[in-house]
Amino acid sequence: MRGATGSTNAGAARATPGDMAALLDGSDEGIVLCDAGGVVLLANAAAARLAPEIVPGRPVPPQLDPAGSSMVTYGGRVIRVRTEAAGDHRALYLSEAPSLPRRAEFLLEAARRLFASLHPRRCARAAVDLGTEFLCDLAVVVLPPATNRRVEWIRAVAGHPGPEEGVMPLSTALRVPGLTDALAGLTHGSGGRQDAGAVPDWLLPEGFGPAVDLLVFPLPGNSVPAGAMALVRRAGRPAFDDEALAMVRDLASRAGAALSAASLFREQSAVNAILIDDLLPPDLPEVEGMRLAGRLRSSQQAGAVGGDFYDVYMSETGAGHDSGIGIVERPPLIILGDVCGKGARAAVLAGQVRQSLRALLLLESRPVQLLELLNRSLLASPAPNSYVTLVLAALRVAPDEHVLVDLAVAGHPPPLVLRRDGTVEEAPARGSLLGALKKTVVRPATVDLAPGEVCLLYSDGITEAFGGPTRREMFGEERLKEALASCAGMPVDALVERLEQISSEWLAGGQQDDRALLAVRAGGHDPATGTETGTATVATPGAMTVWAETTG
Amino acid sequence: MTQAGMTGGPAGTGAGTAVERYLKLIGEADEYGAVDLVLDLIDEGVPAEDVLLRVVAAGQRRVGELWAAGDWSVAREHGATAVSERAVAAIAGRVRSKPTRGRVTVACADGEYHALPTRMLAEVLRLRGWRVDFLGASVPGPHLITHLHQTGPDVVALGCMIATRLPRAHATIAACRAVGVPVLAGGAAFGADGRFARLLGADAWAPTADAAADRLAAGLPSFAAGSDGAVHLGDEEYGYLTRHRAEVLARVLDLLRESYAPMGGYSERQLEHTAEDLGHIADFLAAALYVHDAILFTDFVTWTCEVLSARKVPAESVVLGLRLFRDVLADCPRAGALLAEGMEAATASRPSGGSPPRVT
């Protein structure tokens, strides 16, 4: 600069420091001089407008001090920063980036983030994040009040990590001016401007300072508001201008649409979850004298229900019923079956079979008669193609930790039995499928399990899985028997898991049917066995690697 | 993690001896003994996280080594792991923690069945105050994404142990991030330095369960940042190998029959196991092509040679298999280069004293 120190123009009037300050303050560009350590020596008025945190004597906020030139987001706006050497010091020149691209960027980001998730909380988080990134210093979304007069809120504060959230009484939330109307879908004044001086304590975090401008507006949803939003600018920042108000309208309409879609999805998911709950396999109970383990994989990956099913019916003692109805005493009973079809429709029929059996069991306990009754009930069902195959097994505890398994099979692959010496046999039970013919033919069988021996019930999704090294070979019963034999001595849940893993690896990501496994092992606990059936081939490499191991 | 409590506890409960006793119990599939051991440690004041990581995980690490060395059978290894699952569940049941942090979904990558390390991560996060949904082994992508829409977690922690699952893990990471949820990746498959986690677009990576908990405590972005023109992984050769895996394997098997006389006497099951082993080579080769990383493949080859030599199978058979793959994949120069490096690794891992293998 020439003339600043008066060295070149002796005799003429000199610029005073006051003149210099006025000159700098008159610039639209923010001008900051800082020392080599980044501490501000002087800053003009435009710099203070753009970033109130730039104060002489304090370090420049690190985002605003890049090497060279760059665009940075700071305090809800995009600032172009240019750094130049100035003698021993450095000068920063700050200017706000043109606003049109800013709005375009805002719209792109809003579309990307607001519609990414179908979860209301995630949508609300995206909305408040967008608010503080593009528009304000603090943004809060208040979701519609629940029936218990409490509301969920999500708040983001510029410069703070991730949004916070919580629940509060509706009456406390409504201390925000204009919120009552906003939650009812009404907007006041210019874009919902409210008295910033009337902001309640809960809205602002400690140390935030006074609010200078406050907008409170509804998030329009499907005929009912999806919530309300409040945006705050803190002292030192300008009030929301027309440009900002236009962006606020964009934010409100998009966030409202996203939130209402998410709320709809949540409602439907909740209904779905209730309906599905009875169709999912039950948690397996502890049964005296034996161990149970089961696995179910559905071909419909997102739905998690299908036509394969299993269930456990705990023993009925008959005692304690003085209602005059003769309740039949019986041991615990397990079933595993497969209904015709796939997906939700099949799952509903499977659920009906399980419920029918629960009722029938109150009056009948003999496996063959149960199948007969179930067949009649299926034939009477109005649903078409109510064909079911299943295995029914009554589990009787016998002396010396033996378990006697009374099996009745209806059109289903007969269970496999793993003996202590590692041999595998097929249970001799046979029978016709249910729901097709008036007369069922069932040939029951009883299997005696010594301690440690296993009876495995499975569905044909396991044996009829196509895959293998060539990708088009059926897994087949022989391979299942061999896999089961390799599990001798394993705890029963490890056995079931291993069989499922072998089956999945056979499928290698190919098309899969529903697959079910249910195993019972005699003996109250998995005994220590020294049986070493070491046919160690190279199983999956890296089998036992642990997170803690990869510190290399 | 502090050593206190592990070495300073009552006599006989130091970490070293606790791990040894634990290993003995799980080796006998003694569930009650193992559960009693870990619960006693907790009752004696050892932090639950230490019991998880310094006893159970340490014991499982030994199990892996014992299996690799051929000392333990597959059945024994699976039995031990099942008991450890119960031990982890028992610890989780004994030590309650109040959720004070956000919500995390923990899942194993699609096709990944080694759930225990990831399960332990889930428990460590729960102990550190996170609300955790653990979805278990081999979580299909659509299942995971449905869960994310339904529960809206702050972050997904994805475990993957075997490198062959990386392409599917990549799809899952991208899907999570597309719905805005950042992903923390962990497990051996992502590389000892986490290089594959970064490559596949994960927002963070951690080598161990406790490091993962620390990383989450430090905070991740609340919305997964947009990927700036995501790296394009996989290429023509990867596509060819995955599409024609069955044909490639069949041709390699045929060539092997011609050049390896003992195969004539193989039973059908032995042939099937051989095909499975060759399948692993194909899958690791595909994974290495996918992430453009030769070390992934050579590490697998070296490891395989060690496992096989513990079972009295000479490394030469691996070299032979790799060479046949190279012959069949003659039109795939990148695969050929990887296979050549694999052969070198297999040769180097061969115990000294044997006859030098012919590599042409």
Domain coordinates of chain B in residue numbers? 1-96, 98-232, 236-349
Which residue is closest to A270 within chain B, CA to CA? B150
Q: From chain B, pick out residues whose CB is under 8 angstroms from the CB of A501.
A: 113
The CATH number of the structural domain formed by A30-96 is 3.40.1840
Comparing CB atoms, the residue among A118, A504, A538 nearest residue B277 is: A538
Interface touch A547/B121, C-beta < 8 Å: yes
Yes or no: say if A544 and B60 are a contact pair by the CB < 8 Å rule.
Answer: yes
**Which residues lie across from A213 on neighbouring strands?**
A233
- pLDDT for B12 beyond 90: no
Query: Which chain A residue shows the shortest CA-CA distance from B74?
Result: A536
Yes or no: say if B103 and B153 are a contact pair by the CB < 8 Å rule: yes
Cβ proximity of B52 and B39 under 8 Å = no
Hey, are the CB atoms on B61 and A549 less than 8 Å from each other? yes
User: Is A28 buried (19+), middle (13-18) or exposed (0-12) by CB count in 10 A?
Assistant: exposed
Of A509, A536, A547, the CB nearest to B186: A547
Is A201 an 8 Å CB contact of chain B?
no
Average confidence (pLDDT) over B296-300 = 95
User: A99-274: what fold?
Assistant: Beta-Lactamase (3.30.450)
Put residue A523 in one of left, alpha, beta given phi > 0 → left and psi -120 to 50 → alpha.
left
Question: How many residues does the structure list for chain A?
Answer: 552
The rounded radius of gyration (Å) of the Cα atoms in chain B is 22
pLDDT in tens, B194-238: 999 999 999 999 999 999 999 999 888 878 876 544 556 778 999
More confident residue, A548 or B122: B122
| Predicted-assembly ipTM surpassing the 0.85 threshold | no
Name the closest residue on chain B to residue A422, using Cα atoms. Answer: B75
CA distance B69 to chain A (A): 11
Cross-chain Cβ contact A547/B307 below 8 Å? no
Q: What is the CATH number of domain B98-232?
A: 3.40.50.280
Q: What are phi and psi of A354, to 5 degrees?
A: -65, -40
Beta bridge partners of A443: A430
- Chain A residues with CB under 8 Å of B125 CB are none
- Whether the Cβ atoms of residue B78 and residue B107 lie closer than 8 Å to each other: no
A545/B117 touch (CB, cutoff 8 Å), yes or no: yes
- Shortest alpha-carbon distance between residue A136 and chain B (Å): 18
Residue whose token pair is 């023509």: B236
- pLDDT per residue over A478-520, tens digit each? 999 999 998 888 889 889 988 988 888 888 767 778 899 999 9
More confident residue, A380 or A72: A380
Inspect the interface and report whether the beta carbons of B188 and A545 lie closer than 8 Å: yes
pLDDT band at A534 (very low <50, low <70, confident <90, very high): very low
Pair B324, B256: CB distance under 8 Å: yes
Cβ–Cβ below 8 Å for B223 and A125? yes
Q: Which residues of A295-311 are buried (b: 16+ CB within 10 A; e: fewer)?
A: bbbbbbbebbbbbbbbb
Indicate the range of A88-92, B155-159, B308-312 predicted with least confidence. B308-312
Higher pLDDT, A315 or B4: A315
Helix/strand/coil for A180:
helix
**Are A296 and A516 within 8 A, CB to CB?**
yes
**Is B304–A537 a contact, with Cβ atoms under 8 angstroms apart?**
no
Residue B352 pLDDT > 50: no
Pairing of strands A89-96, A77-86: antiparallel
User: What does the pLDDT read at residue A322?
Assistant: 57
Q: Cβ contact (<8 Å) for B250 and A551?
A: no
| Residue B290: its H or E element | helix B268-291
> Cβ contacts of residue B78 below 8 Å, gap of 6+?
A487, A490, A494, A495, A497, A498
Q: Given CB atoms, is A498 within the 8 Å cutoff of chain B?
A: yes
Domain B236-349 -> CATH class:
mainly alpha
**Using an 8 Å Cβ cutoff, are B74 and B316 in contact?**
no
Q: Calculate helix-pair angle for B116-127, B74-94, nearest 10 degrees.
A: 10
Q: What is the DSSP letter of A530?
A: -
Instruction: Name the residue facing A471 among B189, B246, B311 (closest C-beta).
Output: B246
Contact yes or no for A525 and B31 at CB 8 A: yes
d(CA B211, CA B226): 25
A249: region left, alpha or beta (phi > 0 left; psi from -120 to 50 alpha)? alpha
- Whether the pLDDT of residue B15 is over 60: the answer is no
CA–CA min distance B250, chain A (Å): 7
pLDDT band, very low/low/confident/very high, at B106 (cuts 50, 70, 90): very high
Nearest residue, CB atoms, A302 vs list B77, B142, B272: B142
Q: Within the 514-533 window of chain A, which residues sit less than 8 Å (CB to CB) from chain B?
A: 525-533
What's the mean pLDDT in A255-276? 91
Q: Are B122 and B103 in contact (CB under 8 A)?
A: no
Tell me: the pLDDT tens digits for A225-239?
Answer: 899 999 999 988 899
pLDDT at A460: 92
Could you state, in order of their start, the residue ranges of all structural domains in chain A?
30-96, 99-274, 291-528
The C-alpha of B78 sits at a distance from chain A's nearest C-alpha, in angstroms, of 6
Residues with Cβ within 8 Å of B70's Cβ and at least 6 positions away in sequence, in order, are A536, B307, B310, B311
CA distances from B168 to A192, B42, B153, B165, B195 (A): 48, 38, 21, 6, 16
> Has residue A183 got a pLDDT over 50?
yes
8 Å CB contact of A113 and B223 = yes
Residue closest to B60 by CA, chosen among B92, B19, B12, B113 = B19
State the Cα–Cα distance between residues B117 and A547, nearest whole angstrom. Answer: 6
Chain B residue with CA closest to A128: the answer is: B222
Rounded to whole angstroms, the Cα distance separating A326 from B337 reads: 77
Nearest-angstrom CA–CA distance, B290 and B69: 30
Q: Is A54 a residue whose pLDDT tops 60?
A: yes
- Beta-carbon separation of A497 and B57 below 8 A: no
Query: What average pLDDT score do residues B17-31 get?
Result: 91
Interface contacts A/B by beta carbons within 8 Å: 227
Residues of B in contact with A113 (CB under 8 A): 180, 223
Give contacts of A265 with chain B, Cβ < 8 Å: 149
A535 touches chain B (CB under 8 A): yes
- Mean pLDDT over B299-325 rounds to 89
Q: What is the pLDDT of residue B49?
A: 94
Among the listed residues A481, A444, A486, A445, the one whose alpha carbon sits nearest the alpha carbon of residue A463? A481
> Rounded to an integer, what distance in angstroms lies between the CA atom of residue A489 and that of residue A526?
9
Best residue of A263, A501, A538 to probe chain B, by most B CBs closer than 10 Å? A538
Tell me how far apart the alpha carbons of residues A227 and A76 are, in angstroms, rounded to a whole number: 23
CA distances from A522 to A405, A527, B32, B77 (A): 10, 10, 17, 21
CB contact (8 A) between residue A548 and residue B117: yes
Q: Per CATH, which fold does B1-96 belong to?
A: 1.10.1240
CB half-sphere exposure, B345, CA atoms < 13 A:
21
Closest CB to A301: pick one of B58, B118, B143: B143
Q: A274 — contact with chain B (CB < 8 Å)? A: no
pLDDT for the residue A548: 28
Closest CB from B78, B269, B272 relative to A494: B78
DSSP B98: -
**Nearest residue of A to residue B248, measured between CA atoms:** A470
- Name the residue among A136, A244, A155 with its Cα closest to residue A191: A244
pLDDT above 70 coverage of chain A, percent: 88
Inter-CA distances, B113 with B43, B58, B161, B167, B287, Å: 32, 19, 9, 16, 17
Q: What is the mean pLDDT of residues B253-258?
A: 90
- Does the pLDDT at position A546 exceed 50? no
Superfamily classification of domain A291-528: PPM-type phosphatase domain (3.60.40.10)
For residue range A454-477, list pLDDT tens digits in order: 999 999 999 988 887 777 788 999
Q: What is the structure's pLDDT at A543?
A: 29
- For residues B121 and A329, the model is more confident at B121
B86, closest residue in chain A (CA to CA): A493
Cross-chain Cβ contact A537/B276 below 8 Å: yes
- Please tell me which of the candidates A113, A468, A494 has its beta carbon nearest to residue B82: A494
